[in-house]
Amino acid sequence: IRYFLKSMEHSIWPSSAVHLIPVSTAKNGVSSKSRKRIMPDPVTEPPVTDPVYEALLYCNIPSVAERSMEGHAPHHFKLVSVHVFIRHGDRYPLYVIPKTKRPEIDCTLVANRKPYHPKLEAFVSHMSKGSGASFESPLNSLPLYPNHPLCEMGELTQTGVVQHLQNGQLLRDIYLKKHKLLPNDWSADQLYLETTGKSRTLQSGLALLYGFLPDFDWKKIYFRHQPSALFCSGSCYCPVRNQYLEKEQRRQYLLRLKNSQLEKTYGEMAKIVDVPTKQLRAANPIDSMLCHLCHNVSFPCTRNGCVDMEHFKVIKTHQIEDERERREKKLYLGYSLLGAHPILNQTIGRMQRATEGRKEELFALYSAHDVTLSPVLSALGLSEARFPRFAARLIFELWQDREKPNEHSVRILYNGVDVTFHTSFCQDHHKRSPKPMCPLENLVRFVKRDMFVALGGSSTNYYDACHREGF
Ligand SMILES: *[C@@H]1O[C@H](CO)[C@@H](O)[C@H](O)[C@H]1NC(C)=O
Ligand SMILES: *[C@@H]1O[C@H](CO)[C@@H](O)[C@H](O)[C@H]1NC(C)=O
């Protein structure tokens, strides 16, 4: 599994074979704005995906405020709760390219360096005062913000902090200022915060909260520690999931062997850095190369030559092909349905309690990794979605229809785009129903039963699906 998680951390999903563009429909007095959604358009998609363009999307370099569709709903809908899954922001590579100088990137936070955010200095000043008892062990031992003049491996960068300050501010404008999700006298119970034990996820979560909350009071913050990147808590044991994973790894391996251009490229790069090809490949050079690209630092050179953009394009293009085949072969889907069940189950549990009028856990934040978001996206049927970029956000909104208070609905947003009607549990909903959102029951039915049916066996619950014989 460790091997696979490693390799997954760097794969990037292709621009889908079908382009996703906004399409608006106005029905039943619902404004076209709130009905905008993304639909495939095979006409506008370029026939070949551009590996450099894809890589830059992945970098997610902060620029002007983006447009987003979070919080769009007809006036008679009331926002009940919000569940946010994020990937950590931009980070330093996890691996070095052997025998080369690693990129010189400064992980301290300073105002006169780009990218900048108006809350950056206040964030540092607040964090440097310490956190009290705000974290479950062992999170207490982690630094609260990045602070090394030469980044450590995997450390969050200033770009990563700014990405999440921006995410937080955007969500604050929508959910707090516009929809009043939290009362003025909000308390710790109204937040549910969970992070993996890496400094980059904790720091990303803190930056997002700092941008989001009107008053960042340590007494109201409590981060739980999640040991598993799948956020599977007490339900992690699932042998069939591991079998899907092994088959998926095998698929990935065989596809690589078939790509002679890729092998040649690794060979060339290995010569440049003067190590065996195997060793270079094991060092996962794409991770480091992406960092060079995202930070506009030229690729490394040795006296034998330079790693260059052509090398990068070959490896990146292979990743794109790998993602395409991954979607077709569906082994990853099997892995994802089982891998994402526990966290989705937890989420619907939280939503159901909110529909009963409970006022706790109105805002849930899970600070996580690509290997967390990617299976959730896949399990929801969003296989066309791009691989989680740095600081990606996946959001579940729960709404109540004030005119029919017993009816609750959900919206799903990925990086600000409404993907509700692309999920497998609500795909055809808008064709059959004039309702502007997806009924909560659809999501509940999917998580409780249909996601196991989608695996193709006879299982209808998590335990049976995880222990199916003869798979
Ligand atoms: C990238 O770096 C080069 C110099 O190395 C500079 O000319 C160029 O403007 C930089 N691009 C960006 C987007 O900062
Ligand atoms: C799903 O959630 C319910 C509570 O909402 C819990 O009792 C059950 O154990 C969970 N199942 C799994 C597999 O996580």
Question: Mind listing the pLDDT tens digit of every residue in the chain (471 residues)?
Answer: 333 333 333 333 222 222 222 222 223 333 333 333 333 344 455 556 899 999 999 999 998 767 899 999 999 999 999 999 999 999 999 999 999 999 999 999 999 999 999 999 999 999 999 888 799 999 999 999 999 999 999 999 999 999 999 999 999 999 999 999 999 999 999 999 999 999 999 999 999 999 999 999 999 999 999 999 999 999 999 999 999 999 999 999 999 999 999 999 999 999 999 999 999 999 999 999 999 999 999 999 999 999 999 999 999 999 999 999 999 999 999 999 999 999 999 999 999 999 999 999 999 999 999 999 999 999 999 988 999 999 999 999 999 999 999 999 999 999 999 999 999 999 987 777 777 899 999 999 999 999 999 998 889 999 999 999 766
Whose CA is closest to 370, among 196, 208, 237? 196
Q: Is the peptide bond before 138 cis (omega within 30 degrees of 0)?
A: yes
Q: What is the pLDDT of residue 471?
A: 65
Structure tokens at 182: 């939290």
Cα 467 from Cα 55, distance rounded (Å): 38
Cβ(342) – ligand 2 distance below 6 Å: yes
Dihedral sign for Cα atoms in the order 409, 412, 417, 423:
negative
- Show Cβ contacts of residue 194 under 8 Å, excluding neighbours closer than 6 positions: 223, 224, 225, 226, 231, 364, 365, 366, 367
Q: What is the pLDDT of residue 1?
A: 30
Query: Is residue 323 within 8 Å of residue 12, measured between CB atoms?
Result: yes
Cα 355 from Cα 347, distance rounded (Å): 12
Ligand 1 center to residue 105 CA distance, Å? 15
Angle at the Cα of 117 (from 115 to 120), degrees rounded to 5?
A: 110
Q: What is the pLDDT of residue 49?
A: 83
Instruction: Return the number of other C-beta atoms located less than 10 Å from residue 84's C-beta.
Output: 23
Helices 285-294/2-10 angle, 10° precision: 30
Answering whether pTM is above 0.75, one says: yes
Beta strands in 167-325 (DSSP E): 191-195, 223-225, 301-302, 305-306
Cα 422 from Cα 91, distance rounded (Å): 30
Instruction: Return the number of other C-beta atoms located less than 10 Å from residue 227's C-beta.
Output: 11
Which of 65-79 are b and which e, b meaning 16 or more Cβ less than 10 Å from the residue's Cβ? Answer: eeebbbbbbbeebbb
Catalytic residue among 90, 287, 370, 401: 370
Q: What is the pLDDT of residue 124?
A: 97
Closest-lying ligand 2 atom to the alpha carbon of residue 461: 13
Rounded to 5 degrees, φ, ψ at 87 are -95, 145
* Candidate from 235, 345, 351 with most ligand 2 atoms within 8 A of CB, to mutate: 345
Cβ(347) – ligand 2 distance below 6 Å: no
Place of tokens 């849930």: 364
Q: What is the pLDDT of residue 314?
A: 98
The reply to whether 322 belongs to the active site is no
Q: Which three-class secondary structure state does DSSP give residue 136?
A: coil
Structure tokens at 203: 């720091």
The reply to whether 370 belongs to the active site is yes
Query: Is residue 83 within 8 Å of residue 350, measured between CB atoms?
Result: yes
Cα 156 from Cα 107, distance rounded (Å): 7
Closest-lying ligand 2 atom to the alpha carbon of residue 234: 14
Cβ(339) – ligand 2 distance below 6 Å: no
Catalytic residue among 10, 83, 88, 341: 88
What is the DSSP code string of 340-364? HHHHHHHHHHHHHHHHTT--S-SEE
Greatest CA separation for the chain:
72
Helices 2-10/239-258 angle, 10° precision: 50
